[in-house]
Each structure stands twice: as structure tokens, then as C-alpha cells.
Amino acid sequence: VKFRPHVKTTKCLNVVEAQLSAGAQGITVSTLREAETFFAAGIRDILYAVGMIPSKLPRAMALRKQGCDLKIIVDNAGAAESIVEFCQTADESLEVWIEVDIDGHRSGVTPEDDALLEIGRILQAGGVKVGGVLAHAGSSYELHTQEALAALAEQERAGCVRAAQRLRAAGISCENVSVGSTPTALAAKRLDGVTEVRAGVYALFDLVMHNVGVCRIDDIALSVLTTVIGHQQDKGWVIVDAGWMAMSRDRGTSKQARDYGYGLPCTLDGTPLDGYVLVGANQEHGILARTDAGHTPDDGDLKARFPVGTRLRILPNHACATGTQFPEYHALEPSGELCVWSRFHGW
């Protein structure tokens, strides 16, 4: 089973080249900007895993004409009809995969839905290749035990394979069966019938993934460097210069067993500050405070422990959201040297 990483997490050529060097085959993208940027860098095998709309078809076709092996997805008959009409007018073709919903989390058609075959027939009758089916078990982010994750991974696998079987039984080509989320990719016990697995946030990990149970705190590779700029003595607050413009507004841990606020503060070497979280965030101000039950703020203690000018690192709730706040990463090489890796933005 091949591995196709989702590059929306890092949007960074250095990272993606490392993934491909490590054995990944092809990439998954969430925007056509990503597809265009990585194709320009020499990557041809690209799956655009967001439902296609008519206004984006010219850009998708332009990539195909330039030699990009771009795959697009649909989950409804209307979009399929638009693609057929566009291809016939352009006298060109696109490869289309059908999105399958296996957990009610987001988009897609369920494996047993008549709409699955309707979409397949529309595409095939219109001369458009049905390249495969794909599923994303997004509800895995709501779980936190290995047993539950393994069960969902099997549900994802079985549902997507079933959709492919139904299409093939109806005479509709369906070569690829693509599944994946970081938690289910790491928890899957079997992949019978699957041709590829996708995952993205695994490349950096974050606090949501830690709460799900698929990584340790010291597996989280992304942090935001911040500096103490003041204190609020009567509230037990340490004020830092990283607010939601640095960390993002993502509060993904708020519904999990442990809430990390806007992030987990660490010392400069990455050691977590036990009992502290970034409890609040304004645009450029972060509020660091203890969350220990029964703790009474000791203002002198805070000032002594965190003098103005102290530098800290904040681990993010959601690596994708925090990363996109910045134009570059400062990456630590095995030698200890820091280098700059650019990333990009936009759609």
C-alpha cells in the first residue's frame, strides 16, 4: 500500500521532498495553489482532495495540460455533470475520484448510497475517467483510545473498499482506494483492498494529536518562540508576545479530555512547563497562567521564574493552523544548525 502525504500541514517544499525521499508516492493537496506550487517544483502525482466546483475547472485543466497527473474529487451528481460538460467543451479530460463518507464527519456519499453509482455513471458515460474512491475518517480526532481508533480505521477501510466494489460491480472503473487520517493511518490493523493511505499532520504532530493518543509531547516538532513582556500581579498572569496571530484561533483541545488553551508553554529547550497553559490570547498578547486546581497565584514567584525578556516555546493545538500564520520555519538540523525553510499561503 503506497503512502500519499497530505502537504497542507506544512506547505513547504523542504518537508515534502523529505517525505518523498523517505518513500512517499505522490502528494495530497487542499488547494490548487498547493498543486501549482508543488508541480512547478517537479512533483507530478497530485490528488486535490477538496470537492471540485465549476469555477476551478480551468485551473485544474491547465495543470493537466502542462503534464501534471492531477486527480480531482466529487461527491454529488451536479459537480459530476459540470465536469463532464467542461471536458466535452474543452475536448480534454480529467481524472475524477469519488469521495466516500464513512463516519458522517464531513463530505462524501455513503458506500451504500445510490448516488455513488449515479455519480460514477455520469462520469463514465461522459468520457471522464473514474480513477478511484477516497475516504477521510475525520471523526478520529474525537477519539482517544487505541481500540476506538483501530475500530474506526477498519470502518474507514471497509467502507471505502465497499464503495469501490459497488462501482466495479456496476461496470464502472475504480482502480484506486484511498483512505486516511493521521490517527487511523497509525492505528490500522489491516489494509486489504486499499491502494494508498493519506495523512498530513503526522509530519509535525500537535496537542490535538497528543490528546488523541498518537504522539508524545516530545514528538511535536513545531513550536512558536515567544518572549515574556510583562505580568498581571493580581491575576497570576504572565504576558507574552504570542497571541492568536501567532498561535491561531484554533481551540481544538477544548472538547478533549485535556484542554491546553491556546497552547502548551515550554522552556527554550522544549521541556513543558507543568501546570501552565496559554489560557488566553489577544491579537498580539498571550496570557500564560497556572491551571493547577487550588493554586493561589504567587506574584513574586511568577516574576522570579519568568522575568521580562524570558524566552519560551509554545506548542500548538493544531500544527496546520499555527504553521499557516508564518512565512517560514526555522528548522533544526541534526548538526544543531538552524536553517530557514520557506512555506507559502493562498488558494
Q: The CATH number of the domain where 192 resides is what?
A: 3.20.20.10
Whether 46 and 190 map to the same domain: the answer is: yes
Whether 181 and 221 map to the same domain: the answer is: no
**Residue that has been written with the C-alpha cell 486489504 in this structure:** 192
User: Any alpha helices (H) in the chain, and if so which ranges?
Assistant: 13-21, 32-40, 57-65, 77-90, 114-125, 146-169, 182-187, 207-212, 244-247, 299-305, 319-323
Residue 207 in domain: no
Cell of 25: 508516492
Contact 97, 176 (CB under 8 A): yes
Whether 143 and 233 map to the same domain: the answer is: no
The last residue of one of the domains, among 171, 201, 231, is 201
The last residue of one of the domains, among 168, 201, 234, is 201
Whether 180 and 323 map to the same domain: the answer is: no
Residue 337 in domain: no
Residue 150 in domain: yes
Residue 341 in domain: no
Whether 68 and 189 map to the same domain: the answer is: yes
Task: Indicate the DSSP class of residue 214.
Answer: S
Q: For position 177, what pLDDT does the model report?
A: 98
The last residue of one of the domains, among 201, 226, 257, is 201
Q: Which regions of the chain are under pLDDT 70?
A: 293-300
Whether 56 and 111 map to the same domain: the answer is: yes
Residue 209 in domain: no
The Cα 333–Cα 325 span in angstroms is: 22
Q: Name every residue whose Cβ is closer than 8 Å to that of residue 327 and which is 6 or more positions away in sequence.
A: 342, 343, 345
Whether 41 and 164 map to the same domain: the answer is: yes
Domain count, the chain: 2
Q: For position 292, what pLDDT does the model report?
A: 75
Q: Name every residue whose Cβ is closer than 8 Å to that of residue 223 and which is 6 or more positions away in sequence.
A: 266, 270, 313, 314, 315, 316
Q: Which of 113, 100, 7, 16 is nearest to 51 (CA)?
A: 100
Letter for the amino acid at 99? E
Question: 277 - beta bridge partners?
Answer: 289
The Cα 225–Cα 322 span in angstroms is: 12
Q: Which of 58, 102, 52, 42 is nearest to 77 (CA)?
A: 52
Whether 225 and 188 map to the same domain: the answer is: no
The Cα 109–Cα 42 span in angstroms is: 33
Whether 33 and 157 map to the same domain: the answer is: yes
The Cα 322–Cα 77 span in angstroms is: 36
Range of the domain at 270: 217-332
Residue 151 in domain: yes
Q: For position 15, what pLDDT does the model report?
A: 97
Whether 55 and 116 map to the same domain: the answer is: yes
Q: Find the Cα–Cα–Cα–Cα dihedral 316, 240, 307, 340, rounded to 10°.
A: 60
Residue 211 in domain: no
| Residue 90: Cβ-neighbour burial (10 angstroms; 0-12, 13-18, 19+) | middle
Cell of 76: 454529488
Whether 147 and 62 map to the same domain: the answer is: yes
Q: The CATH number of the domain where 257 resides is what?
A: 2.40.37.20
Cell of 232: 498581571
Q: For position 298, what pLDDT does the model report?
A: 52
Answering whether pTM is above 0.75, one says yes
Q: Which of 136, 64, 126, 43 is nearest to 98 (CA)?
A: 136
Residue 345 in domain: no
Whether 287 and 188 map to the same domain: the answer is: no
